């Protein structure tokens, strides 16, 4: 769940997927949460121009036992993660 609401928060839905968070020029931007289609994966964190970028958590299962938390430069796992 997002800890703070963005003044420009919007919700976008695709078949099986949902994004809720900041939007700038029609792209995911700022703090947001994305549930991905056909999986249990959820990313919550920073977005820049439609890409996961900066601090965030990618949870790979509903139980939350498989996750990556750290920095994501341009949607690639990098930096210190746990």
- Quick: pLDDT tens for 23-33: 988 899 999 99
Query: Tokens 């977005």 label which residue?
Result: 47
Chain centre to alpha carbon of residue 77: 13
CB of 56 closer than 8 Å to CB of 50: no
In a domain, 4, yes or no: no
Give 52-58 contacts, CB < 8 A, sequence gap 24+: none
Confidence of residue 3 (pLDDT cuts 50, 70, 90): very low
Nearest to 30 by CA among 44, 18, 42: 44
Region 36-62 average pLDDT: 89
In a domain, 62, yes or no: yes
In a domain, 1, yes or no: no
CB of 38 closer than 8 Å to CB of 28: no
Provide the residue count of the chain: 82
State the average pLDDT for the chain. 81
In a domain, 53, yes or no: yes
């Amino acid at each position: 769940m997002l800890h703070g609401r963005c003044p420009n928060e919007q919700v976008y839905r695709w078949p099986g997927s949902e994004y809720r968070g900041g939007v700038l020029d029609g792209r995911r931007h700022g703090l947001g949460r994305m549930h991905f289609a056909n999986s249990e994966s959820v990313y919550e964190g920073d977005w820049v121009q439609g890409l996961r970028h900066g601090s965030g958590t990618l949870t790979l299962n509903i139980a939350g036992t498989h996750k990556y938390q750290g920095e994501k430069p341009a949607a690639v796992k990098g930096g210190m993660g746990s």
